[in-house]
């Protein structure tokens, strides 16, 4: 059974409510509604600003999309001493090639080759949106990383190309 006590409202001698009950004030329902609407609009604006900033940053970062278009091993003169790599940028912004790596064993053994060991067309290394760049690797360059003077038919070689923005592409190429 519940034990309920009754509270009596004690009126003053003149029949008024006590001062404590009269002094409590609240906000009107209209003001409360306006306050809730203002908070909701503020939250929406903050979320909108964040989403716009986030999507803008993400689309800028993925503006350059580099892909291997072709790799060709060929001879210059009577020796098999050239490898031509063609990369295509299918993205919406330019990318600059800043480093080329090579290995005859695996992707984990890649070594950066010197700029004297390869040429790029265009020579600036910049591959514009929806265009391509050609990198020609010269085998057996004196003092270079690629000490082999020629590529070997049937062998697989590994390459990595790095852009100024830090994007990279690794790929194998098998000599014919």
CA angle 71, 75, 77 (to 5 degrees): 155
- Within 13 Å of residue 16, how many CA atoms lie on the same side as its CB? 7
Name the region of 77 (left: φ>0; alpha: ψ -120 to 50; beta: rest): left
Residue scoring higher pLDDT (148 or 38): 38
Q: Residues near 71 by Cβ (< 8 Å), separated by ≥ 6?
A: 83, 84, 85, 86, 159, 171, 173
List the alpha helices (DSSP H) in 9-158: 19-23, 29-61
Highest mean pLDDT among 25-29, 35-39, 74-78 belongs to 35-39
Lookup: tokens for 117: 């060991």
Give the domain ranges of the chain.
26-61, 66-174
User: Mind listing the pLDDT tens digit for each residue in 98-132?
Assistant: 999 999 999 999 999 998 899 999 999 999 988 99
Average per-residue pLDDT in the chain? 84
Among 151, 155, 159, 144, residue whose Cα is nearest residue 75: 151
Query: How far is it, in rounded angstroms, from Cα 110 to Cα 103?
Result: 5
pLDDT exceeds 90 at position 78: no
Other Cβ atoms closer than 10 A to 160: 18
pLDDT exceeds 70 at position 29: yes
Are 144 and 104 in contact, with CB atoms under 8 Å apart?
no
pLDDT exceeds 60 at position 17: no
CATH architecture of 66-174: Sandwich (2.60)
pLDDT exceeds 80 at position 60: no
| Range of lowest pLDDT (11-15, 47-51, 78-82) | 11-15
């Amino acid at each position: 059974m519940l034990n309920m006590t009754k509270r009596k409202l004690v009126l003053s001698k003149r029949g008024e409510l006590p001062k404590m009950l009269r002094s409590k004030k609240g906000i009107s329902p209209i003001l409360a509604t306006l306050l809730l609407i203002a908070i909701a609009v503020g939250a929406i604006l903050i979320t909108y600003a964040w989403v716009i900033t986030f999507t803008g940053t993400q689309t800028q970062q993925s503006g350059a999309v580099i892909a291997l278009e072709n790799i060709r091993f060929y001879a210059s003169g009577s020796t098999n001493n050239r490898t031509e790599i063609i990369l295509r940028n299918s993205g919406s912004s330019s990318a600059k090639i800043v480093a080329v790596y090579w290995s005859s064993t695996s992707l984990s053994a890649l070594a950066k080759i010197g700029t004297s060991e390869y040429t790029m067309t265009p020579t600036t290394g910049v591959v514009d949106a929806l265009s391509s760049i050609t990198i020609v690797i010269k085998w057996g360059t004196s003092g270079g990383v690629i000490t082999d003077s020629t590529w070997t038919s049937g062998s697989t070689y590994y390459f990595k190309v790095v852009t100024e923005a830090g994007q990279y592409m690794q790929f194998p190429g098998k000599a014919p």
